[in-house]
Amino acid sequence: MEENYGKFIANILSTLTILSCLFLKVPQILSVRRTKSADCIYIQAMALEIAGFTVVTLYNFTNKYSLMTYMEYPIILMQMYILLYYVLKYKHLLGSCAVPFSALVYFLTVLGFAVDFLPRDILYFLVPLCTPLSGFAKISYIYGMIKTGNADDVSLITWIISLTTNLSRLFTVYVDSADIKLMTNFLISAFLSCGVLSTAVFYQKHCSLKLRCTKGLKSKKYK
């Protein structure tokens, strides 16, 4: 009875997680398009994030885990591709020869794992690396905000959803498979998402306060 109750809650959380992830990167995409800037977004961080999402998706897919426990990953990946396009566009890197070459290698590798052409054992080796990959990616986001001194390009909604979905996945994975590798990844990812969110809130409030002070000084000057 308790097991059925746990699965019922897990299914509800999985559904809510998947639905929320339909819009996870949308606020960030809109923010980059609105400002036409991606100064505090590092391409290296995005590449690490895409690599991590891809490995976890393939790991779950090749192990035939329930689709409900990882459907958000391919959904997020689609959004990440769009976001990467705009980041490359506003950093004026779309014309680089490395872009189509890297994309070709990436999609051929994904296809190789999906059709079992590449050995599944590689994924077992790579999954534990998703934790440091995710960590480096999010630390890079934090570093980018600290270096530029602002977080205007960062969407708070995106990171709030990221934090809540990681926490909910801890429970759903525990109920479905209790896979320690995946649970560890979600725990650390939740902690670092909280770090990115906190840093973004700090710099957005700091910049807002600085702007109000500047306007106040200008107003006094002209009086």
CB 46 within 8 A of CB 80: yes
Token pair belonging to 33: 């398009």
State pLDDT tens for residues 72-83: 788 889 999 999
Number of domains observed in the structure of the chain = 1
More confident residue, 35 or 40: 35
State pLDDT tens for residues 162-188: 888 888 888 777 777 777 877 887 888
Gap between the terminal Cα atoms of the chain = 73
Interior angle at CA 28, CA 79 and CA 214, nearest 5? 170
Which candidate, 48, 76, 57, places its Cα nearest to that of 132? 48
* Averaged pLDDT of the chain: 80
In percent, the amount of the chain with pLDDT more than 70 equals 88
Domain of residue 145, residue span: 2-222
d(CA 220, CA 24): 42
Name the one residue in this structure whose structure tokens are 């306060």.
209
Instruction: Report CA-CA distances (Å) from 138 to 42, 60, 104, 133.
Output: 10, 22, 25, 9
State pLDDT tens for residues 199-223: 888 887 776 655 555 554 444 444 4
Greatest Cα pair distance, the chain, in angstroms, is 74
Residue 86 confidence class, pLDDT cut points 50, 70, 90: very high
Interior angle at CA 17, CA 11 and CA 6, nearest 5? 25
Where does residue 65 rank: exposed (0-12), middle (13-18), buried (19+ CB within 10 A)? middle
Q: Which helix (H) or strand (E) holds 70?
A: none
Model confidence at 196: pLDDT above 60? yes
Query: What pTM, to 2 d.p., does this model score?
Result: 0.68
d(CA 164, CA 160): 6
> How high is the pLDDT of residue 111?
93
> How high is the pLDDT of residue 26?
83
What backbone torsions phi and psi does residue 217 show, to the nearest 5 degrees? -65, -40
Mean pLDDT of 52-77: 85
DSSP state of 119: -
> How high is the pLDDT of residue 5?
65
Mean pLDDT of 36-52: 82
d(CA 174, CA 135): 21
For residue 29, how far is the Cα from the chain centroid? Answer: 12
Mean pLDDT of 120-138: 82
d(CA 193, CA 154): 12
> How high is the pLDDT of residue 95?
83
Angle between helices 180-222 and 156-176 (to 10 degrees): 170
Model confidence at 108: pLDDT above 70? yes
